[in-house]
Structure 1
Amino acid sequence: MRVLRVLHNLEIGGVQRQLLNLAPHLLKEMELHICSLGGGGALEASFEELGIKVCHVDLGWKYSPLGIAKLSRIISRGGYDLVHVHRMESIVFPVVVASLGAKVPVVVHHHFLYKWLSQRKKLLESWATRIALGVLAVSHPVMEHSCRELGIPPHRMMVVYNGVKGDRTPLKSRDPWLVGMVARMVRHKRVDTFLHAAARLVSIFPTVKFKLVGGGEREERYRELAKELALEGKVVFTGSVLEVEGEAERFAIGVLPSENEGFPNTLLEYGALGLPMVASSIPQNREVVEEGREGLLVPAGDPDALAQALATLLLNRALAKRSEKMAKRRAEKFNLSRTKRNLITSYHRLLKTKVPSSSPEDIGS
Structure 2
Amino acid sequence: MFFSSFVPGGTEHQMIQLARRLDRRRFQVHVACFHRSGAWLSRIEPDVASLVEFPIRSFRRADTVRQARAFARWCRETGIAVLHTTDIYANIFGLPAAAAARVPVRIANRREINPDKSVGLIALQRASYAFAHRIVANSSAAAARLRREAVKPSRIEVIGNGIDLHAFAPRTIAPPLRRIVTVANLRREKAHEVLIDAAASLLPRYPDLQFRFVGGGARTRELTALVQSRGLADRILFLGHRDDVPAVLAESDVYVLPSRSEAFPNGVIEAMAAGLPVVATAVGGILELVDDGRTGVLVPPDDPAALARAIQRLLDDPARAAALAQAGRAAIAARFSFERMVGAFESMYLDELQRRAAVAPRPTHVTAS
TM above 0.5, yes or no, is yes
Query: Which of 4, 10, 13 is the equivalent residue of 1:8?
Result: 4
- Cα distance in structure 1, aligned partners of 2:183 and 2:58: 33
Q: CA deviation at 1:93?
A: 2.5
Shift of the alpha carbon at 1:127?
Answer: 2.7
Amino acid at match of 2:290: V
Q: Give the match for residue 360 of structure 1.
A: none
Amino acid at match of 1:347: Y
The secondary structure found in structure 1 opposite 2:285 is helix
Match of 2:362 in 1: none
One-letter amino acid matched to 2:244: E
Taking structure 1 as reference, are residues 41 and 294 closer, same or farther at Cα in structure 2, changes over 3 Å only? same
Task: Report if aligned partners of 2:85, 2:94 keep a CA contact under 8 Å in 1.
Answer: yes
Q: How does 1:57-206 map to 2 (within 5 A)?
A: 57-62=54-59, 64-88=64-88, 90-104=89-103, 105-115=105-115, 120-149=120-149, 151-167=150-166, 168-170=168-170, 173-175=173-175, 177-206=178-207
Structure 1 position 228, deviation (Å): 1.6
Contact 1:59–1:68 (Cα < 8 Å) also in 2: no
- Judged with a 3 Å threshold, the aligned counterparts in structure 2 of structure 1 residues 117 and 295 are, in CA distance, closer, same or farther, namely closer
Deviation string for 1:214-248 (max 9, x for gaps)?
11111111111111222121111111112311212
Deviation digits for residues 4-31 of structure 1 (CA, Å, limit 9, x no counterpart)? x112111101111112333442144522
Partner residue in 1 for 2:236: 235
Specify the alignment match of 1:362 in structure 2. none
Aligned length: 349
Determine the C-alpha separation between the residues in 2 that align with 1:61 and 1:121: 11
Alignment RMSD: 2.0
More displaced 10-residue stretch of structure 1: 183-192 or 72-81: 72-81
- Greater relative contact order (Cα < 8 A, sep 6+): 2
Matches within 5 A, 1:205-284: 205-284=206-285
Alpha-carbon displacement from aligned partner over 1:262-320 (angstroms, at most 9, x marks no partner): 21111110011011000001131011111111211111111111110000001111111
Query: What is the match of residue 34 of structure 2?
Result: 37
Percent identity of paired positions between Structure 1 and Structure 2: 25
- Residue-by-residue CA offset, 1:183-207 (whole Å, 9 max, x unaligned): 1011111111111111111021111
Q: What's 2:349 paired with? A: 347
CA contact (8 A) 1:33 1:53 kept: yes
Equivalent position of 2:50 in the other structure: 53
Moved more, 138-147 or 12-21: 12-21
Q: Contact (CA 8 Å) 1:226, 1:235: kept in 2 or not? A: yes
Distance in 1 (CA, whole Å) between partners of 2:19 and 2:122 is 31
What are the superposed Cα offsets for residues 98-151 of structure 1, whole Å, 9 maximum, x if unpaired? Answer: 1012110311010111246555544432232023111110011101101212x1
For the Cα contact (< 8 Å) 1:178–1:210, is it kept in 2?
yes
- Over 3 Å counting, the alpha-carbon distance change for 1:199 and 1:251 in structure 2 is same
Inter-CA distance 299–177: structure 2 relative to 1 (3 Å threshold): same
Task: Give, in whole Å, the separation in 2 of the partners of 1:112 and 1:17.
Answer: 14
2:330 is the counterpart of 1:334 = no
After TM superposition, the score normalised by the length of structure 1 is 0.90
Taking a change above 3 Å as real, the CA distance of residues 173 and 21 of structure 1, as seen in their structure-2 partners, is farther
Q: Quickly say closer, same or farther: Cα 1:72–1:232, change in 2 above 3 A.
A: same
Cα distance, 1:310–1:249 mapped onto 2, change above 3 Å: same
Structure 1: how far apart are the matches of 2:31 and 2:237? 34
In 2, the alpha carbon distance for the partners of 1:118 and 1:222 equals: 23
Q: Normalising by structure 2, report the TM-score.
A: 0.89
Mark the runs of 5 or more structure 2 residues left unpaired by the alignment: 360-369
SS at match of 1:352: helix
Contact 1:183 1:214 in 2 (8 A): yes
Give the Cα separation in 1 of the matches to 2:276 and 2:269. Answer: 10
Deviates more, 1:48-57 or 1:293-302: 48-57
Give me the whole-angstrom Cα distance separating, in 2, the residues matched to 1:52 and 1:242.
Answer: 25
**Residue in 2 that maps onto 1:363:** none
* Structure 2 CA distance for aligned equivalents of residues 293 and 19 of structure 1: 30
**Is the 8 Å Cα contact of residues 44 and 54 (structure 1) preserved in structure 2?**
no
Preserved CA contact (<8 Å) 2:136 2:159: yes
Deviation at 1:251, TM superposition (A): 0.9
Number of the residue aligned with 2:366:
none
**Are the equivalent residues in 1 in contact too, given 2:3–2:33 (CA < 8 A)?**
yes
